[in-house]
Amino acid sequence: MKKIISSLFIVAGLFVLLGYAGVVSASTTPKLFMDGKQLVTDVDPIIKQGTTLVPLAVISRDLGYEVKWDNKAQQATVLDKETSIKLTIGQKVGYVNDKSYELSQAPSLVKNRTMVPIRFVSEVLGLKVEWKQKTFEVLLTSPVKPTPTPTPTLPPTPTPTPAVQEATVTGVVLSEEGNLHIGYTGTLGDPKVMLLPADANNPARLVVDLNNTGYTYELANSFIKGQTEVTLNGYASMTGYRFSQFSSNPLVARIVVLLNDGVNYQVSRSSSEVLISFNGEVHEQPSDPSGTSPTPTPTPTPPATGDSVYHIVLDAGHGGKDPGASNESLGLMEKTFTLSLTLKLKQQLEQNSKVKVHLTRSDDTYPELSERVAFAQNIPGVGKKADVFISIHANSFKTNPAVNGTETYYYKENSKQLAQTVHSAMISSLGLADRKVKTAGFKVIKETTMPAVLLEVGFLSNTSDAKVLFDEEKQNKLAKDLAASLFQYLNV
């Protein structure tokens, strides 16, 4: 990398001129020359916010680099014997031999060409660069490669085995203390942690990468534009966080925390979770003279309503053309379970005269997710939004059928208490493993505005859970216990 360092001082001054040229002549297309020869491509260089971007393949090809493109990950990889450069479309962080660099502009796709900042290219590939303002030309000179010293013949290096998924993120949960818990199963190495400084457009960002790690189907399926993003208010440590499948080869799960100023943090790993903890947000519970500290039960705060009746919308997940999860060996489908439990819960709830239940589906049909949201936001025949929204589901993890248990999801802060109340009822009623209350951006709970939760009652992929879910007696008990918890929440 000495060749990179030797050119930095030349490049630094030069790109002040390039940035200036971009401001005064953004409509002019710069011309590119490599070793005196004009580079011709079907996509011209462009100037974006003072930064000149050039087609990566054109320059790297003339230097003898190999360029690979991963369409699924939207990632370009440039390779030679000593250097590996990875750039992802839309990401302002690039990697050179696994070392991260922050780019002045994120790479972009123009007519299927990967456009990258020329400054980054010149620094990494060791190019000498000259800018001619009068003719608006960029002159690139390839580095002089020393005559290689003969080396003894070595046995061929075996081709490395492609990375496999060794761990799976099962949940990303913000605790009451303001710490972020990333639950996982499988074998996980030490997280890779980077701190990106604040700039004109972004706060400081804590980036945590989990190598050889993917997400559960449910979490991955909830991504919107490739990620789940949570915005927070009133937290001393952060303004929000997001998580995504940053790379598919190698498999990297990424969590990004948007930090407030002056925050200290610590990232630790246990056998089941990665914990991101912050200063000033971990509070000791008062000591109890008896030696035990019972968990206090929160006083329910029912949603505001102008009626004497609370309107509850129950959403039986999937249906019709979408069977959801399944247990093929037992011949069970998620859509059958969700409708069965929904109808039983409706019957239990409507025994209380202060509750009126509305169903997004009452038979084997499939309302689109947007239709379910619209239904809850403006109940047909009622003309108002629901006071409570509950979406009922069953989970699945076919690659590891040993995974089991009950979990409850919410997205907005106004839904947290509802989630805790119904989750406690499910755990008590069925006795399945407690997979906790979690946050996730499922469309039906993200885009509804009333208190809303999504119940993953158990895992259909787990034979033991599946038998419990389809046990008629246990369904009746669960419906009765869930109804009681909602009466408690609504204080009716």
Name the residues annotated as catalytic. 456
Helix, strand or coil for residue 233? coil
In angstroms, rounded to a whole number, what is the distance separating the alpha carbons of residues 152 and 129? 36
In angstroms, rounded to a whole number, what is the distance separating the alpha carbons of residues 23 and 12? 17
**Mind giving me the DSSP string for 297-329?**
PPPP-PPP-SSSSEEEEEEE-SBTTB--SEETT
Look up residue 229 and give its amino acid. Answer: E
C-alpha distances out from residue 392 to 376, 418, 435, 461, 479, Å:
14, 14, 16, 17, 11
- Please choose, from the candidates 230, 247, 226, the residue with its C-alpha nearest in 3D space to the C-alpha of residue 415: 230
Tokens in use for 390?
């509950």
| Residue 270 burial class via C-beta count within 10 angstroms: exposed 0-12, middle 13-18, buried 19 and up | exposed
**Mind giving me the DSSP string for 108-176?**
EEETTEEEEEHHHHHHHHT-EEEEETTTTEEEEEPPPPPPPPP----PPPPPPPPP---EEEEEEEE-T
- Cis, peptide link before residue 250, omega less than 30° from 0: yes
What does DSSP assign to residue 468?
A: H
Nearest 5 degrees, angle CA 104-CA 108-CA 114? Answer: 110
C-alpha distances out from residue 249 to 164, 245, 314, 364, Å:
9, 10, 40, 39
Long-range contacts of 416-420 (CB under 8 A, 24+ apart): 417/298, 417/300, 417/301, 417/451, 417/489, 418/388, 418/451, 418/452, 418/453, 418/489, 419/453, 420/298
Look up residue 310 and give its amino acid. Answer: Y
In angstroms, rounded to a whole number, what is the distance separating the alpha carbons of residues 110 and 57? 12
The residue behind tokens 């239709």 is: 371
Instruction: Please count the residues of the chain.
Output: 492
In angstroms, rounded to a whole number, what is the distance separating the alpha carbons of residues 440 and 427? 20
